[in-house]
């Protein structure tokens, strides 16, 4: 076991959690201006644009996108799930607040992770 690699993975996970809380707050603020479904669309559109630039302009990808057709059909459900995540987080934060929503998200993640493991 490489302790430094494990520690780096945990730090990355921590940063991910921080960014999730910030993203939820930002998405909630945007949804108050343009609407919840519209915010979900804009968030994914901006993410798509950034990924197109990273993958095809800066050639940062290290994988094999040509193998896309070889992936099982259900592995594509992550994209659909992502839409629901953005929508549901932005819908819950105005009702219960960032801390309560994030706590519920973490409980859901941990319970699901336990079931998957």
Burial class (CB in 10 A: 0-12, 13-18, 19+), 12: exposed
Work out the average pLDDT over 73-85: 95
Contact (Cβ atoms closer than 8 angstroms) between residue 94 and residue 30: no
pLDDT value of residue 1: 61
Nearest of 32, 21, 22 to residue 103 by alpha carbon:
21
pLDDT value of residue 3: 76
For the record, the structure tokens of 4 come out as 């430094």
In angstroms, rounded to a whole number, what is the distance separating the alpha carbons of residues 92 and 44? 19
pLDDT digits (tens, 9 = 90+) for 52-62: 999 999 999 99
pLDDT digits (tens, 9 = 90+) for 88-116: 999 999 999 999 999 999 999 999 999 99
pLDDT value of residue 2: 76
In angstroms, rounded to a whole number, what is the distance separating the alpha carbons of residues 86 and 27? 8
């Amino acid at each position: 076991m490489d302790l430094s690699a494990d520690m780096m993975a945990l730090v990355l996970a921590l940063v991910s959690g921080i960014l999730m809380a910030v993203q939820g707050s930002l998405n909630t603020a945007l949804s108050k201006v343009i609407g919840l479904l519209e915010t979900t669309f804009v968030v994914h559109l901006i993410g798509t644009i950034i990924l197109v630039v990273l993958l095809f302009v800066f050639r940062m990808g290290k994988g094999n996108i040509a193998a896309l057709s070889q992936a099982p059909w259900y592995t594509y459900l992550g994209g659909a799930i992502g839409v629901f995540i953005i929508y549901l987080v932005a819908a819950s934060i105005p009702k219960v607040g960032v801390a309560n929503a994030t706590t519920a998200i973490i409980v859901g993640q941990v319970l699901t992770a336990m079931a998957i493991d």
